[in-house]
């Protein structure tokens, strides 16, 4: 896979397989000439960026779960004390 010019669309199945991506992908070359080596470097750079984003998403999800857990705690109801009725003593006459 050599290179392509100005806005042509090309499939890079061979390059992507070398990098380890098994999905067929279309890449638009906007300008200039790219060698397969340069494309491999770009794809590796994008993969590392995606991994970083995944890690950030995981951290955000963990933070949200912790916040939700705090909200779910139930408040304990205070028990009302029952007033004891005083027994009236009967006076013996």
Q: How many domains does the chain have?
A: 1
The pLDDT of residue 50: 72
Residue 84 backbone phi and psi in degrees, to 5:
-80, 135
The per-residue pLDDT for 1 is 42
pTM for this one? 0.30
Does 72 fall in a domain? no
Buried b (16+ CB within 10 A) or exposed e, 11-38: ebeebbeebeeeeeeebebeeeebeeee
The answer to whether residue 37 sits within a structural domain is yes
In a domain, 79, yes or no: no
Res 6: pLDDT: 36
Q: What is the pLDDT of residue 19?
A: 62
pLDDT at 55: 80
Task: Per-residue pLDDT tens, the chain, 93 aa: give them.
Answer: 444 443 444 455 555 566 655 544 445 555 555 666 777 777 777 777 777 777 877 888 888 777 666 666 677 777 777 777 777 777 776
Structural domain range at position 57: 9-65
């Amino acid at each position: 896979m050599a290179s392509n010019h100005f806005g042509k669309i090309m499939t890079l199945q061979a390059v992507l397989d070398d990098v380890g991506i098994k999905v067929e992908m279309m890449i638009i070359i906007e300008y200039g000439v790219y060698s397969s080596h340069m494309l491999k470097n770009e794809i590796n750079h994008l993969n590392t960026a995606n991994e970083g984003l995944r890690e950030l998403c995981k951290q955000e999800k963990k933070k949200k779960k912790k916040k939700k857990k705090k909200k779910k705690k139930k408040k304990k109801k205070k028990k009302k004390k029952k007033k004891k009725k005083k027994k009236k003593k009967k006076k013996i006459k």
